[in-house]
Structure 1
Amino acid sequence: MTIETDISEIRERLDDTQAIYREVCALLFFRYGETPTANRLYQLVRKGSMSAPAKALRDFWGEMREKSRIDVGQPDLPADVAAAAGNLAARLWRLSLDAADASLAAFRVDAQAAVDAAQIQVRDAEVRAEASEAARREVNARSDELRLQLGSLESQLVEQRAANAALREQLAAARSEASMAAAALGDARRDFSVELEKLRDSLAQNEQRLAAAERRALLEIETERTAASRARKELQQANDRIGALEAAHRQERDALRDDLAGAKARLASSVSQCSELERTLRARTEELTHAATTTAELRQRLESISAKLDAGRTPGHTTTKIARKRNRSTRPLALSKGFAVMNLQRRR
Structure 2
Amino acid sequence: MQPPRFSARSELASLQRYNSGLTLDDVAQRAGGRRIAKLGSNENPHGPGAAVREAMADAISRPFVYPDPSARALAAEIAGATGLAGERVVFGDGSEDLLNVLARAVLRPGDEVVTLFPSFPLHEDYAVMMGARVTRIELTQERRIDMEALLAAVARPVRLTLIANPMNPAGVWLAPDDLNALLAAQHPDSLLCLDEAYVEYAAGADYVSCLDRLGAHDKPLLVLRTFSKAHGLAALRIGYGVSNSDDVIGAMNLVRTPFNVNGVAQAAALAAMQNTDEMVTAVAETVRERKRMATALTGMGLEVLPSKGNFLFVNCARPSVEVADQLIDLGVIVKPWKQAGYENFLRVSVGLAWENDQFLDALVCILKGRP
Q: Does TM, scored on the shorter chain, surpass 0.5? A: no
Structure with the bigger percentage of helix: 1
Looking at both structures, which has the greater relative contact order when contacts are Cα pairs under 8 Å and sequence separation is at least 6? 2
Structure holding more strand per residue: 2
Q: TM-score, normalised by structure 2?
A: 0.15
User: Radius of gyration: which is bigger?
Assistant: 1
TM-score, structure 1 normalization: 0.16
